[in-house]
Structure 1
């Protein structure tokens, strides 16, 4: 009986010794070992029609757009895309990044111009979308602007 108890105590001591001898990793160690940080995503603060701010446009005219954005990582370019009517989305323009910091809005600002195609029927819907692309290839699409041909 005494030998059984001593064997059990020795076995229990061995198990405790083995479990405390194992190296414990930090809870997030697996995650840190298995991720690659590419960078940060840009932020589109606002994307609006510049004055006169009207969503009703005339075919063949140009619409000024005001984009406010920022990023912690370097910005590469800004893409403007348009969907006219039921057609496919098309790239309208690509603008290289130029620093234009506004201390009022605390963002970079960019005035884009969208040339409304001529010959569109009255009531044709146009959806504009802006995309800010960082040099790390991460991008953020901006809110949509809905225009209607009058």
Structure 2
């Protein structure tokens, strides 16, 4: 929890001495009210547990890998996402290079590799429309079940109208 937000480009740049984190996961392009709510939850939980608040994001957008014509136009750069995240209190941003290898991970593989083994997450905040893992097989319910299995508190926020 430093004064300057860290950017971890790829998993090998994550410090090996993490003992816990509070995480939110998503593309976070154009941080709207729903994103702000997720970030606020991650930051609040991080402060309660004296661990870093980490935003996990992807580059490129996952849709761009399989359907480039359907990929949403990005509203900002990774640096702009990082600056916005820092303003909301995020301590570090992990950028996962979304490629065919990552896309092939099962929801359980993703949860274990990124949230448990790499980030030692104590808590995760996601939206109810969050999907993850191979062919987006993991839902917010899957995330909660994996959290229960691995001792990670998963908060699911409803969509804001």
Give the TM-score, by structure 2 length.
Answer: 0.24
Which structure's residues are more often helix, by fraction? 2
Larger radius of gyration: 1
